[in-house]
């Protein structure tokens, strides 16, 4: 069940390269879901004000206490700028203790390969989990 449907911003050029970031955010306890959703609400509009955003979405699996994010950026620098800015930086600090082994994966795609779907994002994360690394850069 998607909590935030995919939202597109900017224009995609088929020949350009973009940075994709997917995350899997499993919570430790069911009682933390409400807090997580409140924190997500704080960050919800931040991407729209962030330079370089192409699109983003949030997918929720409430029964599994797991949330997935997917975003596409013009560059790694624009993604990192978003991650360092408020309120994202503070929210991540606040929810980090609630999470059980989050996974973050970034990769590059040509504009001709967009839009990217949740299946592709989950597949990238599954590969990362199998590799045992949990994060890529």
Other CB atoms within 10 A of residue 132 CB? 6
pLDDT score of 16 more than 90: yes
> How high is the pLDDT of residue 89?
94
pLDDT (tens digit, 9 = 90+) per residue, 75-127? 999 999 999 999 999 999 999 999 999 999 999 999 999 988 888 888 999 99
- What are phi and psi for residue 96, nearest 5 degrees? -55, -45
Sign of the CA dihedral 123, 1, 8, 79?
negative
Task: Write down the pTM of the prediction.
Answer: 0.86
- Please state the domain extents for the chain: 2-131
Domain 2-131 has CATH 3.90.1150.10: no
DSSP state of 99: B
> How high is the pLDDT of residue 1?
46
């Amino acid at each position: 069940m998607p909590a935030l449907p995919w939202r597109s911003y900017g224009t995609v050029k088929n020949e350009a390269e973009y940075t994709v970031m997917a995350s899997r955010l499993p919570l430790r306890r069911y009682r933390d879901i409400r807090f997580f959703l409140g924190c997500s609400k704080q960050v919800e509009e931040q991407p729209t004000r962030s330079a370089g955003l192409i699109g983003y979405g949030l997918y929720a699996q409430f029964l599994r206490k797991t949330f997935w994010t997917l975003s596409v950026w013009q560059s790694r620098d624009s993604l990192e700028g978003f991650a360092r800015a408020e309120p994202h930086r503070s929210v991540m600090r606040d929810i980090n203790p609630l999470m059980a082994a989050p996974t973050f994966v970034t990769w590059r795609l040509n504009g001709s390969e967009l839009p990217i779907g949740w299946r592709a994002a989950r597949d990238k994360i599954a590969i990362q989990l199998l590799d045992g690394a949990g994060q890529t850069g």
